Amino acid sequence: MLLSQVRTRLSCRLAPVGSYHAQCTVRLQQQQQYSDHDRGYRRSKQGDGESRWNATPRSIATLSGAVLGMLSYFTYQRTHCQPGDYAFFQLPRVAAIGLTGDSVDTVAPASSRRKELNFIADAVEVSAPAVVYIEIRDTQRVDYYTREPLTVSNGSGFIIEPDGLILTNAHVVVSQPYTVVTVRLQDGRTFPGVVEHVDQRSDLATVRIQCSGLPTLRMGRSSDLRVGEFVIALGSPLALSNTVTAGVVSSTHRASEEIGLRGRDINYIQTDAAITFGNSGGPLVNLDGEAIGINSMKVTAGISFAIPIDHAKEFLKRIAESGGEKTGRGAGVFGSDGAKGRSKQYLGITMLTLTPDIIGELQRRSPTFPANVRSGILVWKVIRGSPAHAGGISPGDVITHINGTEIKSSNDVYDILALQLPLLTITVFRDGETLTVKVSPVTHR
């Protein structure tokens, strides 16, 4: 189209004031030139300022072809195609939600795999209400920011009797003098706790709170466990209450000698369920929601240990046979044979003997673990305010020598502590460096 000139003149004549009408006259004057070969139509002038379009033979042929093509298409579909055979793309059905929030397709499938396969959630629903968070605070020291008694230790436990009896690890609740125990239930209620009985050799203890009608956790049989069986660890890692992790049983009979725990005739449960600081004392449960172990320690990611519940049952049986006798600050202290504990030196660490397998695993998982370490003990946990904490020992340290004596297992540490020495010079590997720290053990019963 070639437009040579367009001129528009608009004249508007308004009706007198008060009238509801206006009259406008538009005059359009155009001078245009068209190419008949580029267009299928021709414009002709009709009268003053009026024009109309005249169809050409070419435009008539084009329109006729389009109409005939559409008629042929619909005729073919009606005679040859069945429903669902159309070649064009069909959008899938979706459940649309309107402004009112109503869904078009709201009916759930008759058989939901989510409900069928969430067996871990079913076990947690049964067992979690009985799991508690335990916190140990030192009344002689105050937190700098909160001005409250300083937290020196924390862990987990679970209720085994509805009148407030709780089972946990001994290393969670055994601490320095002037400490108080606080227990927080799953529903958020807190109670002061009293440590009633302790077995430091098997690392078990009971705590009592003054409350009744509490949910309890049923104890199963750890002797029925199988390697590869699903298990669930519940507790409060890093003070995060009501935390759940899951894994499988890696071993049902990991002897205490294999992991360097002296004097403990226990075959530990090894699992790859994530257990970290604060999980100690919490239950390890099976898919029936039964406690089959007490979470005790973690070596590294994927290697953790739990005390079998059958061993804990023996501990509770000894308590019942002793008539519930308590000593000291309310705690009856027992050895594995039921005898009262003797005085000994206290460092305030949880340690693990480094076997060749454990060393290899640590070297694979941690790039900073020294490659030249062939023996020693791994410090898994340090109790805040303990002699080890005051001396500068940190979790993850590898102790290789004490007072110049090479440390090959945790038994060597116990032998040195039995000498009742006032000061220990300890050599440790930390982040690829060799450090020397001095620790003064505390003697206690």
> Would 116-341 and 343-444 be classified into the same CATH topology?
no
**DSSP letter string, 300-353:** ETTEEEEEEHHHHHHHHHHHHHTTT---TTT-EEE-TTSPBPPPEEE--EEEEE
pLDDT in tens, 403-420: 999 998 887 888 888 888
- What lies within 8 Å, CB to CB, of 303 at 6+ separation is 250, 270, 272, 358, 361
CATH for the 116-341 domain, from 3.30.590.10, 3.40.50.300, 2.40.10.120, 3.30.530.20: 2.40.10.120
| Residue 64 among the catalytic residues | no
Q: Which of 77-91, 239-253, 367-381 has the lowest mean pLDDT?
A: 77-91
Q: Provide the residue type at 308 as one letter.
A: P
Dihedral, 397, 381, 197, 185 alpha carbons, nearest 10: 180
Q: How far apart are CA 399 and CA 421, in angstroms?
A: 18
The catalytically annotated residue of 175, 280, 296, 336 is: 280
The catalytically annotated residue of 156, 171, 202, 256 is: 171
- What lies within 8 Å, CB to CB, of 405 at 6+ separation is 412, 416
pLDDT value at 169 more than 60: yes
Q: How far apart are CA 178 and CA 336, in angstroms?
A: 27
| Residue 19 among the catalytic residues | no
Q: Provide the residue type at 411 as one letter.
A: N
pLDDT value at 76 more than 50: yes
- Per-residue buried b or exposed e for 251-280, using 16+ beta carbons within 10 Å of the residue's own CB: ebebebebbbbbebebbbbbbbbbbbbbbb
Dihedral, 407, 409, 414, 415 alpha carbons, nearest 10: -60
For position 128, what pLDDT does the model report?
93
| Residue 203 among the catalytic residues | yes
| Cβ-based neighbour number of residue 156 at 10 Å | 27
When pLDDT is cut at 50, 70 and 90, the band that residue 24 belongs to is very low
pLDDT in tens, 48-71: 544 555 556 666 767 777 777 776
- What lies within 8 Å, CB to CB, of 145 at 6+ separation is none
Q: How far apart are CA 182 and CA 377, in angstroms?
A: 32
Which DSSP symbol is given to 130?
A: G
Residue 18 structure tokens = 């008060």
- Asked if 374 and 355 count as a contact pair (C-beta separation under 8 A), the reply is no
Mean pLDDT within 388-411: 89
Q: What angle do CA 52, 53, 58 make, to 5 degrees?
A: 165
- Per-residue buried b or exposed e for 93-123, using 16+ beta carbons within 10 Å of the residue's own CB: eeeeeeeeeeeeeeeeeeeeeeeeeeebeeb
The catalytically annotated residue of 138, 203, 310, 412 is: 203
- What lies within 8 Å, CB to CB, of 167 at 6+ separation is 157, 158, 160, 204, 205, 206, 281, 294, 312, 316
- Asked if 279 and 293 count as a contact pair (C-beta separation under 8 A), the reply is no
For position 185, what pLDDT does the model report?
94
For position 56, what pLDDT does the model report?
62
Domain ranges of the chain: 2-57, 116-341, 343-444
Q: Which of 2-11, 108-117, 288-297 has the lowest mean pLDDT?
A: 2-11
Annotation: CATH topology of 343-444: Pdz3 Domain (2.30.42)
Q: How would you classify the pairing of strands 332-334 and 190-199?
A: parallel
The separation between CA 323 and the C-alpha centre of its own chain, rounded to angstroms, equals 41
At residue 367, the 3 state secondary structure works out as coil
Which DSSP symbol is given to 386?
A: S
Q: How would you classify the pairing of strands 131-142 and 23-33?
A: unpaired
The separation between CA 124 and the C-alpha centre of its own chain, rounded to angstroms, equals 14
Q: Which of 91-100, 174-183, 315-324, 380-389 has the lowest mean pLDDT?
A: 91-100
For position 200, what pLDDT does the model report?
80
Q: How far apart are CA 130 and CA 136, in angstroms?
A: 19
pLDDT in tens, 261-315: 666 668 899 999 888 777 889 999 999 999 999 998 877 777 889 999 999 999 9
Q: How far apart are CA 445 and CA 342, in angstroms?
A: 6
Q: How far apart are CA 200 and CA 354, in angstroms?
A: 22
